Amino acid sequence: MNNAILQINELKTYFFTRLGVVKAVDGVSFDLRKGECLCLLGESGCGKTATALSILRLVDSPPGRIMGGAVMYHGEDLLQSTGARLRQIRGNRIAMIFQDPQSSLNPVFTVGDQIMEPIRLHLKLGQRPARERALSLMAQVGIPQAKERMKYYPHQFSGGMKQRAMIAAALSCDPEILIADEPTTALDTTIKAQILDIFRDLKQQKDMSILFITHDLGTVAGIADRIIVMYGGRIAEAGSVLDIFDRPKHPYTWGLLNCLPTISERREKMTPIPGVIPSLIDPPQGCIFYPRCQWHMPVCQEKRPEEFVISGEHIVACYLHK
């Protein structure tokens, strides 16, 4: 159980805005194990992106600030490391790719340059060997005619190709961990599938650990080993992919799975979860899902539920399963 290479402990990240303090990540703890694909699942605004950004301390520091917790990587707390040490790790041991490849690539530099950048920085290779390596990476992620395309600018690539280029850049130094923030959300369905294939290959061939952030249940089903369901800046439920899909325990997860239209069942109406996503400014002291939960009990309003163990690695933050 303990081949965890990344341990997040009680991470708290708040954003200080004019309207109040947004507690985007409010006490989140989990492990990432070697060779596994862990999905952070949740709707927009639940804090999953903020969590991922906090790992590498990429949160925009005027409004946001990491208030507490630890991110243990090989015995080192990344939240306490020096800037220099952090920069050694970024792009090198832990790499991250983002949602919209169009805006994530710098429009005034060639794609080749941008892939070679981390290679030259971390691996300290010269121009020629760096280019060789970049070419092989581009081939690995499935960019055809790599030699010519290296000199292209991002806007000359299609969406799927751009994302592949981003992945190539992220993989360039053979990182141990890849954090992917909604990498397929902005892409067409067919391209989505192709990109997911790349991720699957990475996991298998390189034993890479992937932290995959998404709101799409279909994607999760296709790629996850374990799933963490987030809501309101906190973890609602976590477990293996079977745990979550076959025997979900949290009312929110029930709601999520119920929302899905399925071919096999006939239904009169879609059943969305009643209510709205809560504001993360001044969250209640009890369970944050309380107002939308059909099964709420008085205790739910008083105190925030801890994470109760259902079995093995399946945990739930809900008093129903105490």
Partner 1 sequence: MKRGGLQNYIIRRLIYAFLIAFGVVTITFILLRIGPSSPADKYLANISARTQNPARVIEAVEARYGLDKPVIQQYFDYLVNLARGDWGWSFSTSLPVIELIRRHWIYSFQLILLSMLFASSLGILIGIYSAVKQYTRTDYIATFFSFIGISIPNFWLGIMLILVFSVQLGWFKTYYDTGLPMFSLANLKALILPVITLGTGMMAGYTRYARSSTLDNLRKDFVKTARAKGLPERVVIGKHVFRNAILPIITIIMFDLAGVVFGGAYLTEIIFGIPGLGRVSFNAIFANDYPVVITITLIGAMVVLLTNLTTDIVYTWLDPRIRYD
Q: How far is CA 146 from the centre of its chain?
A: 28
CB 51 within 8 A of CB 34: no
Instruction: Give least dist CB 189 to partner 1, A.
Output: 23
Instruction: Give least dist CB 150 to partner 1, A.
Output: 13
CA dist 207 to 210, 251, 263, 284, Å?
9, 34, 35, 41
Q: Beta-carbon neighbour count of residue 20 at 10 Å?
A: 12
Instruction: Give least dist CB 271 to partner 1, A.
Output: 35
CA atoms of 173 and 92, how far apart (whole Å): 5
CB 10 within 8 A of CB 28: yes
Q: Which is nearer to partner 1, 80 or 106 (CB)?
A: 106
Instruction: Give least dist CB 207 to partner 1, A.
Output: 22
Q: Which is nearer to partner 1, 122 or 192 (CB)?
A: 122
Q: Which is nearer to partner 1, 119 or 230 (CB)?
A: 119
Q: Which is nearer to partner 1, 3 or 103 (CB)?
A: 103
Instruction: Give least dist CB 126 to partner 1, A.
Output: 18
Q: For the chain, how many residues are written?
A: 322
CA dist 238 to 147, 235, 248, 272, 308, Å?
44, 7, 9, 22, 10
Q: Which is nearer to partner 1, 55 or 143 (CB)?
A: 55
Q: Beta-carbon neighbour count of residue 241 at 10 Å?
A: 17
Tokens standing for residue 241:
């992919």
Name the residues that contact partner 1, by CB under 8 A. Answer: 56, 58, 62, 86-92, 95-98, 100, 103-109, 117-118, 121-122, 152-153, 155-156, 166, 169
| Helix, strand, coil distribution of the chain in percent, nearest 5 | 35, 25, 40
Instruction: Give least dist CB 106 to partner 1, A.
Output: 4
Instruction: Give least dist CB 15 to partner 1, A.
Output: 15
Q: Can you spell out the DSSP letters for 129-177?
A: HHHHHHHHHHHHTT-SSHHHHTTS-GGGS-HHHHHHHHHHHHHTT--SE
Q: Which is nearer to partner 1, 175 or 239 (CB)?
A: 175
Environment class of 21 (CB within 10 Å of its CB; exposed 0-12, middle 13-18, buried 19+): middle
Q: Which is nearer to partner 1, 139 or 173 (CB)?
A: 173
